[in-house]
Amino acid sequence: MDEFDLINSITPRTIHHSSVDVGIGDDAALYTAKNGVQEIVCVDTMVEDVHFKLSYSSPEDIGYKALAINISDIAAMGGIPKFYLVSLAVPLKWTESEIKAMYEGMNELAKLYCMDLIGGDTVSTSDKLVVTVTVIGEVEKGRACLRSLAKPNDIVFVTGEIGSSAAGLSLLLKESSHPETSFETNYFINRHKRPQPRVSVGRLCSNAQRVALNDISDGLASELHEIAESSSVSIEIDESLLPVHPDLPKLNSKWKEWALFGGEDFELTGTISKEDWDVLEQECCRLQLPIKKIGCVREKTESNVILKTEEETMTLEKKGYNHFK
């Protein structure tokens, strides 16, 4: 394929944001930032056979997830995703139509959030496919939902269901038995391949006086540890309150491990004052956005994250996916 023909074919013909002054077509993109907002910039890389396998992920799936995981980071800051850039290292075996399909997967999600593709890079490689996406968003100045904002007596919450992505991966790798109907099977698999960023909940959180947020990329326990460490507090959660799909326990005896340490759910977990929790919960209910209280914030102790079960209270390790362990 010809690199420049490819670039021309994926260059957007229209833009969603009038603040874009120069998009694809020059050495770099230009856009005009607003007064009164802070720019949010995040980047994530997905590598073939580390984050996905071509045996079970289509080009559209890969593109969709590569953008989704970055949008989730914007959501965790309480922000609005606006622009994205894509860098690809593509094996020579890939066809032009497959690469375009990957961009179509991204575009499917970008249209939902009115995001503009404003640049990137494409190179060839003799090894695995590598997809790096950078997303730029914005949040009102002083309203970002930082990990360092948790305080004792706050409510700890989580959006959606946890553990479903790890279950989907287990099904794809044929490590778990299938549930009774194909509908539930597809549900778990889609939760792994096509996560739904919680931008709407993040925006509601940014309206509160003070919210600490993380997106669940490396596992609930790991994300709560990061909030506890940044805020110098301890976090206590109740196992009986963890929101999981009713079929999750049927798949594998490891389902609690999936819920606590599985990762890649790309839900949001965070802390909020008791007063603001009532408002957030009511707004989420009104908008049919899933959210649930799972615990509370305590004064700093020897343990950063504590799990209460029916039998005992235990310390949760900072365990989850780690590229270097």
Residues that constitute the known binding site for Mg(2+): 27, 44, 73, 121, 215, 218
Which H/E stretch holds residue 37?
strand 37-47
Angle of CA points 190, 192, 194, to nearest 5°: 55
Positions at the binding site? 27, 44, 51, 73, 103, 120-121, 147, 215, 217-218, 264, 321
Q: Quick one: tokens of 87?
A: 């860098």
Strands 80-91 and 116-125 turn out to be: parallel
Give the CA count within 13 Å in the CB-facing half-sphere of 176.
25
**Closest to 137 measured CA to CA, from 39, 17, 248, 10:** 39
Strand partners, 137: 40, 81
Positions at the binding site for substrate? 51, 264, 321
Helices (H), the chain: 3-10, 59-76, 96-112, 164-172, 182-193, 199-206, 220-231, 248-251, 255-257, 274-286
Positions at the binding site for ATP? 103, 120-121, 147, 217
Buried b (16+ CB within 10 A) or exposed e, 169-201: bbbbeeebeebeeeebbebbbebbbbbbbbbeb
Q: What values do phi and psi take at 211, rounded to 5?
A: -140, 135
